[in-house]
Amino acid sequence: MKKSTISIDKHFVVGEVDKRIYGSFIEHLGRAVYEGIYQPGSPFADEQGLRKDVMELIQKLNVPIVRYPGGNFVSGYHWEDGVGPKNERPEKIDLAWNVIETNQFGLNEFMDWSKKADTSAMMAVNLGTRGVEDAKNIVEYCNLKGGSYYSDLRRKHGYENPHDIKLWCLGNEMDGPWQMGHKTAGEYGRLAAEAGRIMKMVDPSIELVACGSSSLYMDTFGSWEDTVLSECYDQVDYLSLHQYYGNAENNTPEFLASTVAMDKFISSVISICDSVKAKKRKNKSIHLSFDEWNVWYHSHEQDQKLERWCKAPHQLEDIYNFEDSLLVAGMMITMLRHADRVKVACLAQLVNVIAPIMTSDTGAWMQTIFYPFALISNHGRGTVLNTIVDTPVYETKHGDAPYLDCVCMMNEEEDTLTIFAVNKDLESSMEVTCDLRQFADYRVKEHIVLTHSDLKAINTEEQPENVAPVKVENARMDNGILSAVLCDKSFHVITLGK
């Protein structure tokens, strides 16, 4: 049995968790909207066509924000097409995903859904085929009380009170050649600066997210971030990161080691942000919005067979297995270890499209990745402690990968200490100890584990709990020393308190 030691001190903190780190994403893509959160005529839908069974599952995830409406989709989207009387809304081609967008669900429906789902909006503006004027108009429509053309248009559409959206994305993946209206770093930086400046003239209370490079592996990575921030540093509050991982080679140890690459990615972007801060001699720090992250590779082959110009096809519908849930847990742990700078994050996406929740005409169910997200979102509030992990490592293409991914959190309001941990050893249990004499009066209140004998095990509508967490009693406190046994290939939540 391998042995690992966790070291923490309640005075050595990384930072407070911004609850928006547990955000998600709904794009007009595949069945995320249509048949996902919106399905008029379904026995599960309410009077607005919003699926109540899906909302109930989303509430279990405790998602504070949802990014909308894209994604690649937003770079060709006219938000005006999705407001007003539905019988007057145009059907249009969507070049991002080669489908027909009916516009029967739009901005106002999304805001209604957000309230019912107990979440709030992270709205994206089109800086691909549109620009500053349209960015100004949508903020006016959403956030002004009245007395102007677009605010009064919202009121005409039946929404007397402003939507008051506080967080806005300035476009999406603008360095990607697949993006409609993609730009050079200089072009985008200037556009983001002007759009952001005008948007904040309309509503000074909003926060803005500038596009980072589309991926760590883009040729533009690094120089893009530096150039963009050099142009728009004063106008923006966050810089975005996007990253997906897959296991197409069926090499689970390498796949689970993706957290090493993710950690380096975050650290690199922080360094670039702080470099620009130093060059500009600013006091303000740019924080990070990891607003697209997930496992994504299962659906690539089937998506190549889709016909063009259909409506709401089964697109990007990854069926997640147990090993995917382990990586999702590891990715969330990695972001929490950078909680001082990663303030916003969005699991991409929420329903049907590379999602923790799937739907059919007969119900909705939870995929394997639902559980680590829900457990960390619901238990991971408070202060992240600087967590030093002494654990065996194994060699990977990303560098040495620790067998134990771990982070500890202190919640002073609830008087609890929570440990999130992934044992990546596929064959052996691990004995973990942690000196908690600073919390000597705490006891182990709960130990939850997510594990399965089959790395490829999945959940289905017929067997929705094939992979699901269970409570165990494999952790104890003796004289201020925590000891726990973490079974092979497993994710753990250990909560201590008085």
> What is the number of H-type helices and E-type strands within the chain?
11, 26
Distances (CA, A) of 456 to 317, 322, 326, 493: 16, 6, 11, 22
Share of the chain above pLDDT 70, in %: 100
| Catalytic status, residue 80 | no
Interhelix angle 132-143/185-202, rounded to 10 degrees, is 30
Q: 382 in the Ramachandran plot: left (φ > 0), alpha (ψ -120 to 50) or beta? A: left
Question: What band does 44 get if pLDDT is binned at 50, 70 and 90?
Answer: very high
pLDDT at 67: 98
pLDDT at 382: 97
Give yes or no for residue 1 having a pLDDT over 90. no
Cis peptide before 349 (omega within 30 of 0): yes
Distances (CA, A) of 81 to 28, 90, 167, 387, 469: 13, 6, 22, 49, 43
Q: Is 12 exposed, middle or buried, given 0-12, 13-18 or 19+ CB atoms closer than 10 A?
A: exposed
Q: What does residue 249 show for φ and ψ, rounded to 5 degrees?
A: -85, -5
Q: Is 353 exposed, middle or buried, given 0-12, 13-18 or 19+ CB atoms closer than 10 A?
A: buried
pLDDT at 202: 98
pLDDT at 120: 97
pLDDT tens-digit readout, 477-488: 999 999 999 999
Q: Which residues have C-beta within 8 Å of that of residue 133, sequence separation ≥ 6?
A: none
Contact yes or no for 369/322 (Cβ under 8 A): no
pLDDT at 483: 97
Cβ count within 10 A of residue 91:
11
Virtual torsion, Cα 248, 256, 212, 346, nearest 10 deg: 100
Instruction: Please give the helix or strand (H or E) that residue 56 lies within, else none.
Output: helix 52-61
pLDDT tens-digit readout, 332-384: 999 999 999 999 999 999 999 999 999 999 999 999 999 999 999 999 999 99
- Nearest C-alpha neighbor of 69 from the set 393, 350, 377: 350
Mean of all residue pLDDT scores within the chain:
97
Distances (CA, A) of 478 to 2, 75, 411, 444, 475: 21, 57, 22, 10, 10
Active-site entry in 80, 140, 173, 225: 173
Instruction: Please give the helix or strand (H or E) that residue 401 lies within, else none.
Output: strand 399-402
- Output helix, strand, coil percentages for the chain, rounded to the nearest 5: 30, 30, 45
Q: How far apart are CA 377 and CA 113, in angstroms?
A: 20
Give yes or no for residue 226 having a pLDDT over 90. yes
Residue with tokens 């967590």: 387
List of domains in the chain: 2-9+385-497 (2.60.40.1180), 18-379 (3.20.20.80)
Mean pLDDT, range 177-196, rounded to an integer: 97
| Catalytic status, residue 56 | no
pTM, full prediction: 0.96
Q: Which tokens belong to 495?
A: 């909560």
Give yes or no for residue 175 having a pLDDT over 90. yes
pLDDT at 188: 98
CA dihedral (377, 379, 383, 387) positive or negative: negative
Mean pLDDT, range 430-454, rounded to an integer: 96
pLDDT tens-digit readout, 64-98: 999 999 999 999 999 999 999 999 999 999 999 99
Cβ count within 10 A of residue 54:
27
Give yes or no for residue 114 having a pLDDT over 90. yes
Active-site entry in 27, 109, 292, 317: 292
Q: Which residues have C-beta within 8 Å of that of residue 414, sequence separation ≥ 6?
A: 382, 497
Interhelix angle 258-280/322-336, rounded to 10 degrees, is 30
